[in-house]
Structure formats: C-alpha cells, structure tokens
Amino acid sequence: MKPIFLAAACAMIAGQAQALSCMRPDPISTFNQVAASSDNYYVLYGTLTFDESALPPVLSNKRNEAPAPISARFNGKGLTYDGFTSDYISPAFLQVDCVANYCGSAQSGIEALYFARAENSPVVMTAGACGGMIFPEPSQAVLDQLTTCMQGGTCSAQSLQ
C-alpha cells in the first residue's frame, strides 16, 4: 500500500509543479502567436521608463490580483516591413499580471522588445507571470529575424541558434 500512496503523492506534486512552470518564451514564437491572433499588435523596440518602486514583488501573497497599471513613457521604434523604422514615442502603461503567487516584472530604462495590443491608447505593455510579451535587450539577430517575419519570410527561432 505504501508504494501506491507514494506514487500517487509524487504524481500529484509533479502535476502541481508542472502547472506552475512556464515554457521559456522567445520573441519569434510570440511574433507568430500575435500574427495569428484576431487582435492587432504593435511590435515595439525601445525604452520604457517608469517608477520601478511601483512594481509588485515577483512573489506576491495577492493571489491572481492584477496590480494597478503603472504610468510609463515609451521612446523607440515600431516594426514595419522595412524593420524597426517607425518612430513611436508615447505615454504608456505597464500592466503587471499575476498568476497564483507569481507576478511578472520589467526593468525601466533598458532597451527591450515589446508586443502590445494596438487597441489601447496609451499603449499598454504587459509583463506576464510567464513572460512572453517583453524581451529585454534583444540581439540584432532577433531584430533582423523579426523584420524577416514581418516581410513574410521564414519565421523560425531555430535560425537564430
């Protein structure tokens, strides 16, 4: 009886651990996801400036509560068929999402890649608990690959490896 109980307990713990784990997101996969979405998105590259002291802790005791949006300012470029060539300078919001006891995070004042829904004004950058919409300090190869994706070329993260 003990081996069966132990196996059942291990299976239950593994299931809970798996439910809290996140697959590592990459910008090319995110581009493909938003391109397939019925929503419109901006792909932005630049600097989001905000008060980092307003960020909730990454480990939070407020289960599944969305913190209030943080006022921010974005200064950068939007992705076009010619690359990151369209100036995009605007007030913005940073929305941190929380799942279970984990909250997303972001850094102020660094170059990053942002995927943001185009329907909001000002634009809302979302820092999810599992990431996927903000990519700090992307390489030039990633930016070039996103341009290729935008142009309808081969859009695979494997070409970056």
- Predicted TM-score (pTM) of the model is 0.83
Residue % of the chain over a pLDDT of 70:
81
Task: Return the C-alpha torsion angle 61, 66, 72, 76, nearest 10.
Answer: 110
Are 125 and 117 spatial neighbours (Cβ–Cβ below 8 Å)?
A: no
* pLDDT under 70: residue ranges of the chain: 1-20, 60-65, 158-161
pLDDT at 24: 84
Are 124 and 95 spatial neighbours (Cβ–Cβ below 8 Å)?
A: yes
Are 113 and 27 spatial neighbours (Cβ–Cβ below 8 Å)?
A: yes
pLDDT at 11: 40
pLDDT at 1: 44
Q: Go through the domains of the chain in sequence order and give each one's CATH number.
A: 22-160 (2.40.50)
Give me the half-sphere count of Cα atoms (radius 13 Å) on the Cβ side of residue 123: 21
**Which pair of tokens denotes residue 144?**
């070039």
Rounded CA separation 75/73 (Å): 7
